[in-house]
Amino acid sequence: EPAIQMAARELAENQVNSMIGRQLAHYKIVSLLGAGGMGEVYRATDTQLERDVAIKVLPVEFSQDEERLARFEREAKLLAAFNHPNIATIHGLEESDGIRFLVLELVEGQTLAERLIKGPLPIEKALEICHQITEGLEAAHAKGVIHRDLKPANVKITPQGKVKVLDFGLAKAFEGATAVTDLSQQPTLTDEMTRTGVILGTAAYMSPEQAQGQPADRRTDVWALGCLLYELLTGQPTFPGETITEIVAAVLKSDPSWERLPENTPGLIRFLLRRCLDKNSDDRFHDIADVRVAIGDALKELTTVSPSVVTTTTHPGRWRWAVPLVVLGALAASLLTWILMPSSSPVEQQVQRFVISPEATAPLHEDYPFSEVAVSSDGSKFVYVAETETGSQLYLRSLDDFEARPISGTESTANYPMFSPDGESIAFVSSGQLKRVSVQGGAPRVLFDLEGNWGGGSWLEDTIVFVSERDLFSIPANGGEAELLTTAPEAYPDEFHFSEPQILPGGKSVLLQAGRSSPQIAVYSLETGQLTNLLPGGISPRYASAGYVIYLFPGTGKLMAAPFDLQSLEITGEPVPVLEGVRFSRAPVGAGFGATYALSPGGTLVYVLDPGSYYRLLWVDRTGGETLAAPQKRGYRGLNISPDGKRVLMSLGPSSGFSTSTEIYDLEGDSFSRIPTEGITSAIWTRDGQWITYQALVDRKSNLYRQRADRSAAPEQLTHYTDTRYPVPTSWSPDGRILLYKRQEIDSIFIDDILSVDIQASEGPQDLIAGPGNQTAAQFSPDGNWIAYVSDETGENQVWVCRYPEIDRKWLVSDGEVSVQPKWSRDGSELFYRNGNKTMAVSIQTESGFRADRPQLLFEGSYRTDSRGLPRYDVSPDGRFLVVSAQDTEVQIHVVLNWFKELKRLVPVN
């Protein structure tokens, strides 16, 4: 092999030597300038115009391919048609003595590849170079020309400091009409370069879509520009490797080593690099103009402030208008040093919002019921519970940084974090113990051995107050004996617990949540021992130093604010919604609710939106083909198509908790109309489409109601229960007389039974299908003679069918795997149900008794399902399935700086 390689090099050298001094048309070859996968480049003299030019001699195999050559000629003519000071000009494509060659502008100076041999460039110089590159790219993109092979070797700096991009657009022209999927045939990836130890060119700057052989658009130039800027700042390749395989693997799977960037790299540039180098092209900057404006603004800032601090105390620049709002948020994060400084101006600081995506390898944990985030007192950093391969771990994110880092010593089971007042330590719970660790990480110190359920805590000065099971404790933050402050009252022994305590300023009282299934926001006086209820139905209270109690109402998912007097410990005004869609979760049975938000004394709000806000409504045909049913992404929960197939009755709300509204969606007019009655959930149509039926909680009594769909008359109450165990309507008989619904047993909060009510009779609801186990999701057949339902009497959910009204005999319809949500076809000849991601169909015959064929798979898809009876899908009269997509938006952390200004506007106080 070495002998073959040596022979190949000698042949190449002989070919080059034979060109020196040769005349091609009226161009005399003077010397070799360089060589690459698209041919050798020579310095030459144009004897007609008496000027120096560059001659690129194309490979012989390329010149012999007429189809590619014709395409190359068309592209070359297009490139020659425009002129820009940052793009090396193409003078023409010519042929002489059977040799095809390009005549190019000769650019004197050194390439960036040659300059990088000396090491990284100063930040300002690197930005100036890239700013000129983006100007050239922008001009070419405007004419539909994409470079596709941007790299240091293709950028030259003239002695006058002008940047020239070489070989612009030739990669596409060289490629030919058919996309190249063989990496070895990509431009500049020659066989010579596959040798171990050879520094590769194009492979290190390929976008992921290029590396996978997919079509490349202008976003591939954005990627390459990001690679180039990173290399100019660090002096190292963005994706290093010694072979094509290693480099391509890094491009597809690895992240750049961000810690290599100079410490004084502006925050805006750090964010810009991340958005240029996002492996998902949809999340990458789509337009190089946005990159140009950002670099320009960063350059302006560098000329007015120290390189280690970036501020916008003067003009925000065009950047604010040229890029997505999320970029503004990131810029706000990088400006935190300035924002948190006491203002010398009488003008109050403005509210700033931005979004932070947790690390892909450590997403926000979804299973913990209480505070998954905590923010430091000065608002400069926050910590969140991340889900890792080994369990849960705390990650710390400073707002003036662009990466979260794991806190060592919190591995495996860390959760429920709280900051020390100085922001230098974190208290957390792990393996049944309350622990403390430095934000820099290290061996944690055990403060307390917990008993039973942990209920959260807070840290004020040198004291931590926390809940263990039903007891409220305080403990010195440096360790020592814990003091029992109080025990939850025995009035409600099964459910009355304390949780999420917060020591109020002054240290004389504690704000907390009292109760779980029927929670209250309460305050406990450490001086008198008195517990006072402040607000009913709220969870996860936080005191806002602007004079409010903030809490979440789980029935709606809304964050509420109520004016609060710290001296009298009284609510002084009506609660007002201030934020919708904050995520909350319900803990394992009996442990209550918890909301994911945190608040600093200075007004920094950190929260997570419920992902249930981001579902899509889809039509799916019997083959699995999908089409969009509604353009909006919303928290679709229950679905029920009207008998004529033109409207959808739906419940909407967060993925956890209850529905927040019930609306009718007009499929033809693409419009939503909200049913104004409060407290509605689980609504369905009657068979004639004239009425809607729903469950509503009125005066803490949960009952079924029906109302005209046009709201022309007042609702009619169908049941008269006196407790809160809510019934869920599931199906009407064809004659509109019998309503089926499921409801929890009176003596149990865990067991569901199927009941019926005859609206024309006086005897009230009747038990229809009861234990053992849960019975739910009952559906009348179109003729009203059969009922399909779900029962877990065998140990797991299965679909059954029984005759109506004689229900003493039943048939198992599903095939033994967990099955839910039965739905009849409109003619009753089929029964559908969900089995995980599978939608199954069963042919049904009822002419002479009941017979069900073996279930058949219709299609698979990741759609929302429900094991407790809520209709997450429905079947239209034309046989299509209306489904709710699985949540497809990443969970992100939202940060609002100076939130108190907005809070005071929304909830004025005297």
Exposure letters 766-804 (e unless 16+ CB within 10 A, then b): eebbeeebbbbbbbbbeebbbbbbbbbeeeebbbbbbbb
Three-class secondary structure of residue 837 per DSSP:
coil
* 644 tagged catalytic: no
CA separation for the pair 557, 229 (Å, rounded): 44
DSSP string across 559-621? EEEEEEETTTTEE-S--EEEEE-B-EEE-STTS-EEE-EEE-TTS-EEEEB-GGGGEEEEEE-
d(CA 62, CA 66): 8
Please state, as a whole number, how many other Cβ atoms lie within 10 Å of the Cβ of residue 160.
7
**Residue-wise DSSP of 498-517:** EEEEEEPTTSSEEEEEE-SS
Contact 54, 41 (CB under 8 A): yes
Cβ-Cβ contacts under 8 Å for 607 (sequence gap 6 or more): 373, 559, 579, 582, 583, 596, 597, 598, 893, 894, 896
Largest CA distance in the chain: 110
Give residue for tokens 């009619």.
716
- Exposed (0-12), middle (13-18) or buried (19+): which is 210, by Cβ within 10 Å? buried
The CA distance from 47 to 70, in Å, is 27
Of 133, 119, 117, 55, the C-alpha closest to 91 is 55
Question: Of 149, 167, 792, 874, which is the active-site residue?
Answer: 149
DSSP H helices, 663-818, are none
Task: Say if residues 480 and 473 touch (Cβ distance below 8 Å).
Answer: no
Residue whose token pair is 């000071």: 85
d(CA 726, CA 724): 6
Q: Which residues of 641-668 are buried (b: 16+ CB within 10 A; e: fewer)?
A: bbeebebbbbbbbbbbbbbbbbbbbebe
Contact 224, 207 (CB under 8 A): yes
User: CA-CA distances (angstroms) from residue 538 to 431, 513, 541, 542, 654?
Assistant: 29, 8, 7, 11, 16
Residue 293: CB atoms within 10 A of its CB come to: 21
End-to-end CA distance of the chain, in Å?
A: 87
Question: Cα(403)–Cα(107) distance, rounded to whole angstroms?
Answer: 40
| 456 phi-psi bin (left φ>0, alpha ψ -120 to 50, beta other) | left
Q: Please choose, from the candidates 303, 339, 304, 299, the residue with its C-alpha nearest in 3D space to the C-alpha of residue 319.
A: 299
Q: By the 8 A CB rule, do 696 and 714 touch?
A: no
Burial class (CB within 10 angstroms; exposed 0-12, middle 13-18, buried 19+) of 902: middle
Are the C-beta atoms of 608 and 583 separated by less than 8 Å? yes
Number of neighbouring beta carbons within 10 Å of residue 529: 9
By CB atoms closer than 10 A (0-12, 13-18, 19+), residue 699 is exposed
The catalytic residues are 149
